[in-house]
Amino acid sequence: MSGLASRDAAYFNRLYRDDPDPWKFASSDYERGKYAATLQAVSGRRFTNALEVGCSIGVLTHSLAAQCDSLLGIDISEAPLRHARALCRRQRQVRFRRLAVPGQWPEGSFDLIVLSEVLYFLAPADITTLARLTLGSLALSGRVLLVNWLGPTNAPCGGDEAARIFIAACEALLRITVARQTSEYRLDLLVLDPQ
């Protein structure tokens, strides 16, 4: 495990100052394919109140909104949220807030919580805290979708490690219903198991 601290707002503010889309969410084939797999994993169900953590410029948010009566996108940096608001301006069910997880967390109950390409920016202890917050906000029969890049990063965790930490923190209450892995990313869909 890395001894690096969770990435803070200043880190992301610098990235977005240099490039409004630093990961090419709007243009890369990798992102398009990953988004298609993400949407497929949660297809066939309408969500009453969904949360996307680390929504960035809102590309996934825009597509995910079609399945949601209400969708809150949160991000640690205000710069990408301006783009997200513009992209989703016609989708009245979509809202955005600047929050830095796990220290800040939205109120409410969610039947879908999406954590796509965000966990590995957190230190292991913060991933565990985030998992507890997620469990505390998950509606009955709610779903948690994790997507994690598996390539090298300079982040506090690797994607595989971050997913394992989160899943271990939730294993008593969540069960994995979809586990997909490509050479580039892993996708895990966890469902609250009412016992």
Predicted confidence at residue 78, as pLDDT, reads 96
Per-residue model confidence as pLDDT tens digits over 14-59: 999 999 988 888 899 999 999 999 999 999 999 999 999 999 999 9
State the maximum Cα–Cα separation within the chain, in Å, rounded to a whole number: 48
Distance CA 174, CA 159 (A): 19
Alpha helices in the chain (DSSP H): 9-18, 29-41, 59-64, 78-87, 124-137, 159-170
Structure-model confidence comparison of residues 89 and 21, the more confident one: 89
> Which of 137, 139, 161 lies closest to 149, judged by CA?
161
Per-residue model confidence as pLDDT tens digits over 154-192: 899 999 999 999 999 999 999 999 999 999 999 999 998
- Give the type of residue at 7: R
pLDDT at residue 194 is higher than 90: no
Q: Give the distance, in angstroms, between the CA of residue 48 and the centroid of all CA atoms in the same chain.
A: 17
Give the CATH architecture of domain 9-192. Answer: 3-Layer(aba) Sandwich (3.40)
Predicted confidence at residue 1, as pLDDT, reads 45
pLDDT at residue 193 is higher than 80: no
Per-residue model confidence as pLDDT tens digits over 60-85: 999 999 999 999 999 999 999 999 99
Which of the four pLDDT bands, split at 50, 70 and 90, describes residue 153? confident
Mean pLDDT of 78-98: 97
Can you give the length of the chain in residues?
195
The domain limits of the chain are 9-192
Q: Cβ–Cβ contacts within 10 Å for residue 32, how many?
A: 13
Residues in a beta bridge with 53:
74, 115
